Amino acid sequence: MKKIYVDGENLTMNDMISVSRNHVKIALSKKGRKKVFESRKNLEKIVERQRVVYGINTGFGELCSVKIPPSKIEELQKNLLRSHAVGVGNPLSEEIVRAVLLLRANALSKGFSGVRIEIVEKLIEMLNKNVLPVIPEKGSVGASGDLAPLAHMALTLIGEGEAFFNGERMKSKDALKKAGIKPLKLESKEGLALINGTSVMTAVLALSVYDAEKLVKNSEIAGSMSLEALKGTDKAFDPEVMQVRKHKGQIDVAHNLRLLLKNSEIIKSHRNCQKIQDAYTLRCMPQVIGASKEVVDWVKKVVEIEINSATDNPLIFENESISSGNFHGQPIAFAADFLGIAVSEIGDFSERRTARMTDSKLSNLPPFLTKKSGLNSGFMTTQYTAAALASENKVLAHPASVDSIPTSANQEDHVSMGTIAARKAEEIIRNVEHIIAIEMICAAQGIEFHKPLKPGVGVQQAYKTIRKYVKKLEDDRVMYPEIEKIAGLIRNAEIVRNVEKVVGGLR
């Protein structure tokens, strides 16, 4: 059976998805085991030589000058977890918590945290046996990393707090007992190493950017369907046009649109019509969606660096313990905010195409895409929902990273708010999945009015996939389950996969 080995160096985005969503098991590699062991030895030598080392035998944050006697080290670590487990709100989802456990194990196995091997192995055992700490979604300011949510995670290791086991919420000690896992006793620095880092914000952002990649392709498919429904032209996507403005995202999106619209009988039928130019939301798809695509690609690169980084404090090297700032979430905060803005714009763009299709004065289609308007409202209110979601996204897209509220008596006088930024980006993506679903459903309805003419090969395949789940609208019916169904197909990439079977891989 497949297993993913962690060593702090080689974790990929696909590994994260395999573990968080597909429950692939993980293990500590030989290389990782050696690095963890050596790091612990280095820590012990440093303490023996220096006597007083921050976070190991001192208090934390503003209390760093308070020396802790050896007899109180275990109590110090336990108190750290208890005092910092102050998160509030709904629990993070199962897939996010699984990603958090994976990222924390991977970060510690990098060999700069000074923990014992037992700590990493216990995280791995919890993940593999699906004992998932209850981690409230709110309470992190993003420096020193995700202190509050990671404290909730770490409590489960010592048998305190709450956890889910096989989907049932219970006390952590009971979950561990049911899974056959013994709780740990923490030694010097281990509590701090567990909670000091960016694992929560990075987990949320990693899953979000993975979904955003699929969402970009779905937006291209939806846009090409709308172009067919509105009898737009593909001339604006000409390769010569793209080559005089060499943004890669723009070039790639135009290439994809040409594939999707290839051999369209609908486009051919009005090639010589009186219309001079299409509206921007049709004509400028390469420029606008392409710009968002480049942001998604950049955010993915940031995440790929962060998931293999040591982000706790202090960091343990061969001859010294260095108090530094790798826990600061600013790189993730900026990336998450930028992702939210880019995906929000995809939603804005989509909603305007839906509005155009449902407006008979602009679309030359029946009012609200129904031949029986008046008695039927057709797709009138689906556009309301798309507009509501687009408007909500405009609020959510306000960057969290421009804010900072000092903590720890101004010792931590600038924080990133990266976890808030990541959670907002995730919410925006969920909203845009539904906006795109609404556009696809409306566009499929619009294409009905052009029969027997067929759309491009890619559009036709998308249309067929949608029609498996959403039939042509003749009379008003309850449509919210259909919107949810298509949003699910967008998220699991079924529509993209089916389209790529006939047009080849979309860039």
Residues 186-209 as b/e (b if ≥16 CB within 10 A, e otherwise) read: bbbbbbbbbbbbbbbbbbbbbbbb
Residues 6+ apart with CB under 8 A from 30: none
- DSSP structure string for 52-71: --TTTSB--GGGTT-B--GG
State the CB neighbour count (10 A cutoff) for residue 325.
11
Residue 5 annotated among the catalytic residues of the structure = no
The single residue of 5, 54, 210, 480 carrying the catalytic annotation is 54
Using DSSP's 3-state secondary structure scheme, residue 268 falls into helix
* Strand pairing category for 162-165 and 136-138: unpaired
Whether residue 94 contacts residue 126, with contact meaning beta carbons closer than 8 Å, is answered with no
211 to 137, 201, 393, 433: CA distances (angstroms) = 19, 16, 17, 9
Using CA atoms, how far apart are residues 507 and 496, in angstroms rounded to an integer? 11
Whether residue 368 contacts residue 375, with contact meaning beta carbons closer than 8 Å, is answered with no
Taking alpha carbons only, the member of 486, 261, 292 closest to residue 382 is 486
Name the DSSP class of 182.
P
Whether residue 479 contacts residue 441, with contact meaning beta carbons closer than 8 Å, is answered with yes
Using CA atoms, how far apart are residues 85 and 151, in angstroms rounded to an integer? 5
Using CA atoms, how far apart are residues 160 and 157, in angstroms rounded to an integer? 7
Using CA atoms, how far apart are residues 396 and 461, in angstroms rounded to an integer? 34
Using DSSP's 3-state secondary structure scheme, residue 140 falls into coil
Catalytic residue IDs: 54
